[in-house]
Amino acid sequence: MGDRTAAPPYRYQNRRVVCHDMAPLVRASWLRGVSALPNSFAHECMIDELAHAAGADPVEYRVRHLDDARAVELIDATAQRAGWRPFTPGSRGTPDADGQLHGRGVAYARYVHSKFPGFGAAWAASTAT
């Protein structure tokens, strides 16, 4: 069951996902989102790191690596409603005394409830400043 959210929604080269299901130690059916939350968080952290390494705007980078038209529309609409300003070189700000940057962010998640294409999926996107 963990394979539903193990594969990231983004398309990029040299991606390999291996999922080893095992007999549960406890009955997980009552624990909603057992793998969805940590897997989505990991995908979004990685896509942020890739966008940063590429010197790209995180919204544009996500959209460029998604094939799902509904996801692209959702991210674009969320960015527009949030007044998102695209990243430009030098717009990342200055790190604080601890070397941390503060400012804005974007996240996207898709949760698939079923292995049947087009059935039981939920999309979400959010921005923060």
Contacts of 118 (CB under 8 A, 6+ apart): none
pLDDT tens, residue by residue, 34-90: 677 778 888 888 898 999 889 899 999 999 999 889 889 999 999 998 888 887 666
116: pLDDT strictly greater than 70: no
Band (27; pLDDT cuts 50, 70, 90): low
Report the pLDDT value the prediction gives residue 3, as an integer from 0 to 100. 62
Is the pLDDT assigned to residue 2 strictly greater than 70? no
Residue 123 phi/psi, 5° resolution? Answer: -120, 150
pLDDT at 15: 78
Q: Answer yes or no: is pLDDT of 1 > 60.
A: no
Q: What pTM was estimated for this model as a whole?
A: 0.72
Please give the backbone phi and psi of residue 80, each rounded to the nearest 5 degrees, phi first.
Answer: -65, -45
**What is the reported pLDDT for 100?**
80
